[in-house]
Amino acid sequence: MKVVVTGAAGMIGANLLRGLNAIGIDDIIAVDDLSDGAKYANLAGASISDYFDRRDFYPRFERAEFGRVDAVLHEGACSDTMEHDGRLMLDLNYRASKSLLDACQAQRVRLLYASSAAVYGGSETFREEAAFERPLNVYGYSKLLFDNVVRRMLASATAQVAGFRYFNVYGPHEQHKGRMASVAFHHFKQLKSEGRVKLFGPYGGYGAGEQARDFVFVDDVVAVNLWFLAHPEASGIFNVGSGRAQPFNDVAAAVVNAARAGRADAALSLAEIVAAGQIEYIDFPPALIGKYQCFTQADLSRLRDTGCNHEFADVASGVGRYAAALRASA
């Protein structure tokens, strides 16, 4: 099988490369923008057959210059939810994706692509229906715009098209993401450098650290992608999250207890961690007021209806595995 992975040096892309290698697929064209040269580290160690800069790849793929390609796993995007340049966002997240979709359909190439739970924005229901899609920023809008294009063409599709609305993904190979790295990553760094983890105080009707998100381990994201790769009959737009909302307090506690486990110390309760000063609650930042999702939880009904019954890790187990990987890499 010959596969293209765009955004291959990003967190999800890098983990997909390794997931594909693990099932014996190494004829992989990796596509990304390595202007930030340090991102090469996410490609190192993965077995690929070629690499192209994204500016070179897209026009050449449209001209069918790569021979027979079986599937494109499209993770390439601008994922900075605080980016306000709408022209840039729509160029990278919508127009490039639309051109790729058209080329895939013309060549009968399967397309698995990254959408985002950001399309739900201010909604309180997280189901793949227009009534619940209320993006709060141009990033979420750019993803929704492409999802709607996919919806319109599915009935006449020449090859599989599956979009994945990722919720809060965390895991290895996100060290390059800066402020957009997961809270688990930031908590690990804070605990190491300051001896404590910082969380938002009360906001939006939630107590300190009790705002809740659907946190999903990147290994689970890879598993879902590989399931769809093995099931070309499954098309549509699907939520990819754990299906459970957990408070930020749970993530902080998991990071602290993972560090304790590394020293062979017993786990502590949240109350004990707070009493020990290892969690600090800070004022909610004014810049995020009205732009912040206090609660997300993926409705997995549509995913389950396809027959994908993958079991997702909860925060304690997923963050524990991630923290162990971060300790090892450090």
Contact 197, 119 (CB under 8 A): no
Cα 236 from Cα 247, distance rounded (Å): 30
User: Can you read off the two tokens belonging to residue 46?
Assistant: 């993965």
Encoded amino acid at 272, one letter: E
Minimal CA–CA distance to 190: which of 78, 282, 293?
A: 282
DSSP 93: I
- Catalytic (active site) residue 51: no
Catalytic residue, candidates 139, 141, 166, 322 = 139
Cα 99 from Cα 197, distance rounded (Å): 43
Using only C-alpha atoms, the chain has a radius of gyration, in whole angstroms, of 20
Cα 303 from Cα 94, distance rounded (Å): 24
Catalytic residue, candidates 2, 98, 177, 189 = 177
Q: How far is CA 150 from the centre of its chain?
A: 19
Cβ atoms < 10 Å from Cβ of 287:
9
Contact 191, 197 (CB under 8 A): yes
Q: How far is CA 104 from CA 62, 99, 280, 321, in A?
A: 8, 9, 49, 36
Residue where the block lists tokens 């930031």: 186
Distance, first Cα to last Cα, the chain: 35
Helices assigned H by DSSP within 121-182: 138-153
- Catalytic (active site) residue 291: no
Minimal CA–CA distance to 42: which of 91, 7, 86, 92?
A: 7
CA atoms within a 13 Å half-sphere pointing along the CA-CB vector of 43: 22
Active site members? 139, 177
